[in-house]
Amino acid sequence: MMKKNCTEGIMNFKPINNSGAVEGFCFVKSLEIKKTAKGLPYLDMILTDRSGEINAKLWDYKEDLHGDITVNIIVKVRGTESMFNDAPQFRVERIRKALPSDQVKVEDFVPSAEYSGESLFDAICAIVEGFENEDLKTLVLTVLKRYREPLTVCPAAFKLHHAIRGGLLYHTLSVLRLAQGVCAVYPLVDKELLYSGAILHDVAKIWEFEVSEAGIASGYSVEGSLIGHLVKGAMTIEQIGTELGTDRELLLLLEHMVISHHGEPEFGAAVRPMFLEAEILSELDMLDARIYEISAAVSEVPAGAFTARQWALDNRKLYNPGLHYVTPKADLL
């Protein structure tokens, strides 16, 4: 995504009369409380909307006056722009949290999946409804419905692939679609087992991040770090499966698929995949993440150019052959 040159119009802000000041809604991407040389507190923020981002300062920060301004929320600001060290800077004069009555939509301010969380959720459930194996159908639907709300906003990652609002279901449905492609070629694959694994493999990511109400991960939770979404996912299946009386062999298979889906211990797998559907799930998870990350990286450089080395992709630099590329996007619905 090319960053908008902020000197031509300040983000999507609107001018206020001829005062030189502008006003609008935006997202607080980062925020630090600092002190001036005189020891007075001020806010140092990065504000974003769909048109770009800007460094902003609120010089006379008083919590009782301005309210509890935190990172990862939507605010309304008023202020003026100036240049500082060759870079535009926004001096905030007024700031307040967005109110329900403002009727602003989170999706308009944060990077979000192209499909709504609800539509992705419904598409996944529709596939499960068609299962013949009643145990799998009941178990997977129960998990999905019990955690419907967090699932529809959760990102798939903190940084890296699908680190966007709704990214978790977006990635989940992508893997499911890829799995359908594999099953069309290889009928020997146990289709419903593979699909169930695909749907449940990352479900415990809803506990892995600290996620703001805007669906943005701001870091790992304690549980996310100490246990991780692989083991937590298996625990969730064990607990709900035990409640439902699911066949124990099926539970073992599903739990194995979840704890092995990172493929290699060095990538976080608790065990290596030990049967065909677990192996396929692990490879499709990797494939989907790689497609997302490579196309995201490459979309930042022009055709015929290489990206910088990408740490998350084995430190490779990547080439943009510039043939057909568009913004990374899957055809899911």
Site for a second copy in 92-131 (CB under 8 A): none
Helices (H), 58-207: 63-66, 117-129, 134-146, 148-153, 167-185, 191-200
Please state the closest distance from residue 209 (CB atom) to a second copy, in A: 14
To the nearest 5 percent, what fractions of the chain are helix, strand and coil? Answer: 40, 20, 40
CA-derived radius of gyration, the chain: 23
Residues from 303 through 332 that contact a second copy (CB under 8 A): 304, 306, 314, 316-321, 323-332
Smaller CB distance to a second copy: residue 98 or 189? 189
User: Ramachandran region of residue 281, left (φ > 0), alpha (ψ -120 to 50) or beta?
Assistant: alpha
Residues 27, 25: Cα–Cα separation, whole Å:
7
Residue carrying the six token digits 């598409």: 123
Residue carrying the six token digits 């607990």: 239
Q: Which stretch binds a second copy (CB under 8 A): 35-43, 51-59, 60-68, 108-116?
A: 35-43
Q: What is the amino acid identity at position 294?
A: I
Annotate each residue in 185-214 with x if it binds a second copy (CB under 8 A) or - if it does not, as one string.
Answer: xxxxxx--x---------------------
Smaller CB distance to a second copy: residue 2 or 37? 37
Please state the closest distance from residue 315 (CB atom) to a second copy, in A: 9
| Residues that contact a second copy, how many (by CB under 8 A) | 85
Of 15, 16, 36, 309, the one binding a second copy (CB under 8 A) is 36
Residues 257, 192: Cα–Cα separation, whole Å:
13
Of 11, 43, 106, 280, the one binding a second copy (CB under 8 A) is 280
Smaller CB distance to a second copy: residue 49 or 192? 192
Annotate each residue in 245-274 with x if it binds a second copy (CB under 8 A) or - if it does not, as one string.
Answer: ----x--xx-xx--x-----xx-xxxxxxx
Residues from 59 through 88 that contact a second copy (CB under 8 A): 83, 85-86
Of 34, 96, 146, 148, the one binding a second copy (CB under 8 A) is 34
287 near a second copy, rule: CB under 8 A: yes
Q: Greatest CA separation found in the chain?
A: 72
Smaller CB distance to a second copy: residue 77 or 228? 228
Residues 40, 33: Cα–Cα separation, whole Å:
10
Asked if 332 and 177 count as a contact pair (C-beta separation under 8 A), the reply is yes
Please state the closest distance from residue 17 (CB atom) to a second copy, in A: 25
Of 184, 308, 311, 333, the one binding a second copy (CB under 8 A) is 184
DSSP sequence for 190-242: -HHHHHHHHHHTTGGGGGTEEE-TTS-EEEE-HHHHHTHHHHHHHHHHHHHHH
Smaller CB distance to a second copy: residue 99 or 287? 287
Residues from 39 through 58 that contact a second copy (CB under 8 A): 39
Please state the closest distance from residue 211 (CB atom) to a second copy, in A: 17
Helix axes 134-146, 228-244, angle to 10 degrees: 120
Smaller CB distance to a second copy: residue 99 or 184? 184
∠ CA 299-303-309, nearest 5°, is: 60
Smaller CB distance to a second copy: residue 49 or 293? 293
Smaller CB distance to a second copy: residue 98 or 310? 310
Residues 57, 13: Cα–Cα separation, whole Å:
16
Which helix or strand (DSSP H or E) is residue 81 part of? strand 74-84
Smaller CB distance to a second copy: residue 244 or 286? 286
Closest by CA to 12, choosing from 66, 70, 76, 60, is: 76
Of 235, 244, 301, 312, the one binding a second copy (CB under 8 A) is 235
